[in-house]
Chains A and B, each alone.
Chain A
Amino acid sequence: MPVNETIFAYAVGRIRALETRLLDKGKLERMVEAASGDEALKVLAETDYAGLVAELASVHDFEKILQEEIKRVFSLVKKISPQPYLTDLMGLKYDVHNLKVLLKAKYLEETNHDILFPVGTIQIDKLRAMVTEENFRDLPVALRTAAEQITEEFAVSRDPQVIDLSLDRTLYDMLITAARNERAAVLEGLFVREVDLANIKTFLRVKRMGRNKEFFKKAFLPQGRLTADLFINLLEEPLEFLADRLAMSDYAAVVSEGVREWQEKGTITRLEKLSDDFITDYLQQGKRMPFGLEPLIGYLYAKEIEVKNIRMILVGKINGLPIEAIRERLRNVYI
């Protein structure tokens, strides 16, 4: 339902003040240039993260404070948002991520090293109990159906890919339907763009693995603006054609540069960085809006990117990566 955007006045005022405390390029640059992980952490201790850093016993436990920060930011935005169910949509991907990790841990019977995020709308303990008992009755309907279907299908096929594919599709179905029903244009635009970028990545992987179009169709997320036919027709063509085909779309820059690196070095890191920057650019409209949902969504995303950047720097520092290698992976900041 479209609402009077001025109901966001308080929330946006608060976000405006919070935005000034996001880490800027200079701070990140100082962290990148720090001599070690501990030195980088000292830079972080000068920022809003000071309290969290103080509790940290060793730099190796940094993941804990990053999760803590994301959790804090999500609950803060939920608290100040006049429409918390809309900002909750930003957290749904964590629920789905957790569900994926738990399902895989159960079915692949391996100790899973993937991280569980205590951020989503469903508590992890509850989710774990659901997966153990195979009782998904308390999940949102779409997720419940998907989870039950996975349980059935997996018993037959034993194919772990079913979990990722089916849950990703369900996630974006839920997100885009909800955004459309609530007429939240900024969220719909965000999710559609995420789907398109995910499909481009899927296309590259499928092509490299030399899989056929049936496989691509299964992995393709249908909710985006780029159609399945567009990709399928290109499966047999040289990779350069993808950039040509998308030259007139918003994704031209992302694809041409990302694909070049993919061909030259075989890594997808550049494409991933450019994809994140693309979304940041899109959400930056929120910086100029005095009212409305956009600034809240923009801030949440900015915070996710900030945490991602900190994680990349600290991982790089701990593993002794060269400064240049860390720097080229850093995402653009929102401010």
Chain B
Amino acid sequence: MTGIVLALLGAALAVGLAGIGSAMGVGLVGQSAAGVVTEDPDKFGQTLLLQALPGTQGIYGLLTGFIIMQRVGVIGADLLNLTMQQGFSVFMASLPVAIVGFISAIYQGKAAAAGVGLIAKRPEELGKAIIYAVMVETYAVLALLASIMLLFGIAL
């Protein structure tokens, strides 16, 4: 086994775990929203906005995955021949966004689902419901930042 396998595993985890988290978060908000819209179809637009919020982690994961693919040469140029240490470094760099993305998306989903309940009662407070959910986003962004800095810091 050479380092490239570990690097690709990192890419897979970044896309996979963050994506699973987002799917769970978006799914949860979708359930809450469906409940509200059953009784009040006019709330579709507002609930959709909230539902989209936990989707970003999956995008961050994909972005990280792309950067890894590009850096190790899966996209474009020839595949690099990485040492074990290089491969392991790339794998490590993928972990912040994979782990934090997975968990923060679920919690963001919960916050956004609570926000769906909020706008069911007070549709004029959509902005506040969004802010509460977006606070969770901070930590996904920080994790993405860490992953990207690590990836570009590793000499390949």
Contact = CB atoms under 8 A, between A and B. Distances in A.
B114 A290 contact: yes
B36 A13 contact: yes
Given A13-B117, A290-B110, A18 B28 contact: no
A13 B110 contact: no
Interface string A1-27: 000001001111111111110000000
B35 A16 contact: yes
B78 interface: no
A291 B39 CA distance: 18
A80 interface: yes
A60 to B, nearest CB: 32
B141 interface: no
B34 A13 contact: yes
Contacts of B113: 6, 9, 13, 290-291
Given A18-B39, A290-B113, A291-B110, A13 B28 contact: no
Interface in B32-57: 32-36, 38-40, 43
A16 B118 CA distance: 8
Size category, B interface:
10 to 19
Contacts of A6: 28, 31, 110, 113
B38 A9 contact: no
A208 to B, nearest CB: 44
A291 B32 CA distance: 9
B32 A12 contact: yes
Contacts of A291: 110, 113
B23 to A, nearest CB: 14
B25 to A, nearest CB: 10
Most buried by B among A9, A17, A18, A80: A9
Given A9-B32, A16-B121, A290-B117, 18 more contacts: A9-B35, A9-B113, A10-B32, A10-B34, A12-B32, A13-B31, A13-B36, A14-B39, A15-B35, A16-B117, A16-B120, A17-B36, A17-B38, A17-B39, A19-B120, A19-B121, A20-B40, A290-B32
7 contacts: A12-B117, A13-B32, A13-B38, A13-B113, A13-B116, A16-B117, A290-B113
